[in-house]
Chain A
Amino acid sequence: MSELAHAATQLDVTAPPILTVQDLQMYFPVKYHGIFQRTIGHVQAVDGVSFEVPKGGSLGLVGESGCGKSTTGRLITRLYEPTDGEINFDGRNIAHLSQRELLPLRREIQMIFQDPATSLNPRHTVGAIVAAPLLIHKVVPKNKVLPRVQELLEVVGLNPEHYNRYPHEFSGGQRQRIGIARSLTLQPKLLVADEPVSALDVSIQAQVINLLQDVQREFGIGFLFIAHDLAIVRHFCPEIAVMYLGKIVEIADRETLYNHPHHPYTQALLSAVPDVKQAAIGGRRERIRLEGDVPSPINPPSGCRFRTRCSMAQEICSKVEPPLLQVGSRHKVACHFPGELGQAPQRPVTTAICGVDDQGNAVSGATADIQLNAPGYDTTWLDLKTGQRTGA
């Protein structure tokens, strides 16, 4: 591998978005197992998610299992058709395109899967696996396919002579490289990486992360990086969204999210990560214990979905769903009491916006005044210290 600096992409606030997702929703029907198969409920896997991925930049999506992060990734690659919402890719809504219309789009959006062993066909050679997209999309003439495959294998750090080997002849890290080579064949503009390193050994994880950073830099690919490992996401993505039960609870640039998290769930999640270097120098962060398990997405709690496990939950939390409120130039949080750990406000800050009083009861005549679930960021935001709207 080259000795070039493997560095994470920097946050480029001026980069236009390659992907804009608005109010994305995915409900999976739960069927009654009888004669009539009637629908008895819905798994609200993704419920109103909005975000942007900048061109050539990366957005991290973190959360616990079952929070809907993988479903979001699969919606964007259109492996699922969303129940509702918009997926604007390069200025075009792809949410409800037909399979035929999707075909050219598959070139532009590619996916890297978690488990390299099960995402490669064991009966195909590596050459066939990497060449398949080239043949399907007829990108290069048939006699140019092999040279292109070998070039790609070289890009991802594999021996180009190994194109006629089978996946089982490679180690886990090498297999993941094959998966990456396959996703790069069509020179996509957006890569959805769903837990790309969590099945790999620690020493190999770093190799793959460095490779992903190199290809991102070289080809200017936008990344939606889905992972549950907060440290790896921090290393890879300049901007991160935290999901809980199908909703984004906090989205911010790396610096803000990791050093000044305002949502109690983000704070708990961060405090739960064991930290080698902290322990090595003797310091140990106080851990916030989250009791119990994530509630069922079939019947999520009313109001704020996190309230059943939140230490700050009050009456308003069960009545009114907190909007994703912008509280900094690149920082949004969905909480009635947002604040750094131990500095949460006494009164809910969202009453005026939601048109309710402190207990969450509707105030007659008041209505919600701003469009809150828009992707991207506004030029003005609510300053939590003064309670006024401010701008940069």
Chain B
Amino acid sequence: MTSYLSVRDLVVHFPTIDGIVKATDGLSYEVERGKTLGIVGESGSGKSVSSSAILGLHRGTNAKVSGEILLDGDDLLQLNDEQMRQHRGSDVAMIFQDPLSAMHPYYTVGNQIAEAYLVHNRVGKKAARARAIEMLDRVGIPQPDRRVDDYPHQFSGGMRQRAMIAMGLINNPGLLIADEPTTALDVTVQAQILDLLQDLQREFNSAIIIITHDLGVVAEMADDVLVMYAGRAVEYGPCKEILTHPEMPYTWGLLSSVPDLSADTNAKLIPIRGNPPSLLSPPPGCAFNPRCDHRDKVPGDLCTTQVPDLTTARSGGNHVKRCHLANPDEVYATEVLPEIAPDLAKETP
């Protein structure tokens, strides 16, 4: 395997007095340099937990983490804390959802950006400050030499997120994890930030993992998509493939429950029934079965007794899905698509 990041069978369990919370249960994926992986799912599906495991953020907690996280060949889970510290912030960096709470309100933005550079490089404070100004300029903050001494509250939401990106990219990391980077932002600012991330990715050739619940963001940014449900991957493959030929009813549900700008306004929004399952006691069999509308098409009680394996989708290639349905592609084309996008269904007979 030559992928820059390869996660294999990642398990993150949190023992609690009520039982084990299986936040992530056997997750595998890969990201190449210069490529973007989008991870989508509802809150509590394990998207953020699995990604913070890459940064070793569960160390020192009572979480049980197992599996392999290979970054450029090194297994991050085998490293000791000091070795992990060397990687964190230099090879792997993270951008958080809410930049106001991710930044320290008592330190200037410049200080916080320079810190990551000082820690990982043998440079003086002056050089670090110069580098911070350079990065602020790179992420499009006007008058960076003046704004570097501002405090986070003096920045607007979009500028704070830019500063977070500057902080994340200051050491040229090979892997950037963006956890809901634009959820707290307005659409026009979101567009600016997404453009910026794409430009910087081209420049630094980083691998990016973008965690989001917005399929629109994934559609614009990602090369590959991983759909998570109740701690497991339920569908994984090239972005275009998954958006055009999804083969897992949960992905169908995600697609049908968001309106978009070009849809027929008389088309119905079809929500996914019920609520996401508890990770303490997920339903037996396929975790999605209590909310699935297509369970009756699977013979017997397979859905409620057996967890489906990740198998190659009917469309083939690298597209895998976790579902017992024998002919998901036909069900999608004949039953789901005509309901959610009558216009598209007509175009692709």
Contact = CB atoms under 8 A, between A and B. Distances in A.
B255 to A, nearest CB: 7
A391 to B, nearest CB: 27
- Determine which residue in B187, B217, B263 has the highest number of CB atoms from chain A within 10 A of its CB, and name it: B187
A239 to B, nearest CB: 12
A234 B271 contact: no
A235 B192 CA distance: 25
Nearest to A287: B191
B62 interface: no
B259 A274 contact: no
Contacts of A231: 258-261
A140 interface: no
Given A272-B191, A276-B255, A280-B219, A203 B42 contact: yes
B260 A171 contact: no
Contact of A64 (B187, B194, B266): B187
Nearest to A62: B187
Interface stretch (A204-212, A216-224, A322-330, A350-358): A204-212
B312 to A, nearest CB: 21
Contacts of B194: 274
A269 B192 CA distance: 12
Say which size band chain A's interface belongs to: 35 or more
B275 A171 contact: yes
A332 to B, nearest CB: 21
A205 to B, nearest CB: 7
A277 interface: yes
Interface stretch (B80-88, B144-152, B208-216): B208-216
A252 to B, nearest CB: 14
Interface in A338-380: none
Interface in A183-216: 201-207, 209-210
A270 interface: yes
Nearest to A290: B188
A317 B83 CA distance: 59
Contacts of B255: 276
B244 interface: yes
Given A209-B269, A210-B269, A65 B186 contact: yes
Contacts of A174: 275
B280 interface: no
A71 to B, nearest CB: 16
A276 B42 contact: no
Interface in A284-299: 284, 287, 289-290, 292-293
A205 B159 CA distance: 29
A132 interface: no
A162 interface: no
Contacts of B261: 230-231, 234, 258, 270, 273, 275, 278
Interface in B234-287: 239-240, 243-244, 253-263, 265-266, 268-272, 275-276
Interface in B150-195: 156-159, 186-192, 194-195
Interface string B319-349: 0000000000000000000000100100100
B220 interface: yes
B43 interface: yes
Contact of A284 (B220, B265, B266): B220
B219 A228 contact: no
B268 A6 contact: yes
Given A210-B271, A230-B187, A203 B220 contact: no
B275 A277 contact: no
Interface string A94-121: 0000000000000000000000000000
A207 B271 contact: yes
Contact of B265 (A8, A171, A202, A281): A8
Nearest to B44: A201
B243 A279 contact: yes
A205 B257 contact: yes
B216 A273 contact: yes
Contact of A269 (B188, B239, B263, B272): B188
B344 A277 contact: yes
B275 to A, nearest CB: 5
Nearest to B268: A6
A228 B275 contact: no
A173 B42 CA distance: 13
A301 B107 CA distance: 32
Interface string A1-38: 00001111000000000000000000000000000000
Given A228-B186, A230-B261, A275-B260, A203 B192 contact: no
A95 to B, nearest CB: 29
Interface string B12-28: 00000000000000000
Contacts of B256: 206
A279 B255 CA distance: 13
B245 to A, nearest CB: 9
Contact of A254 (B191, B253, B265): B265
Contacts of A205: 257-258, 271
A7 B266 contact: yes
A272 B243 contact: no
Contact of A273 (B187, B240, B243): B187
Contact of A289 (B192, B270, B341): B192
A8 B263 CA distance: 13
A282 interface: yes
A268 interface: yes
A392 B130 CA distance: 64
Contact of B254 (A171, A173, A203, A289): A203
A7 B220 CA distance: 29
Interface string B213-239: 111110110000000000000000001
B254 A268 contact: no
Interface in A160-188: 171, 173-174
Interface of A: 5-8, 64-65, 171, 173-174, 201-207, 209-210, 228, 230-232, 234-235, 254, 258, 268-282, 284, 287, 289-290, 292-293
Given A202-B215, A290-B191, 13 more contacts: A5-B268, A8-B265, A65-B186, A205-B258, A206-B270, A234-B259, A269-B187, A274-B194, A274-B214, A274-B216, A275-B262, A276-B215, A287-B195
4 smallest CB-CB distances across A and B, nearest first, come from: A274-B216, A279-B219, A206-B271, A206-B257
20 contacts: A8-B266, A64-B187, A64-B188, A174-B275, A202-B214, A205-B257, A206-B272, A210-B269, A231-B259, A232-B259, A234-B265, A235-B263, A274-B191, A274-B214, A275-B261, A278-B260, A280-B219, A280-B344, A289-B191, A293-B158
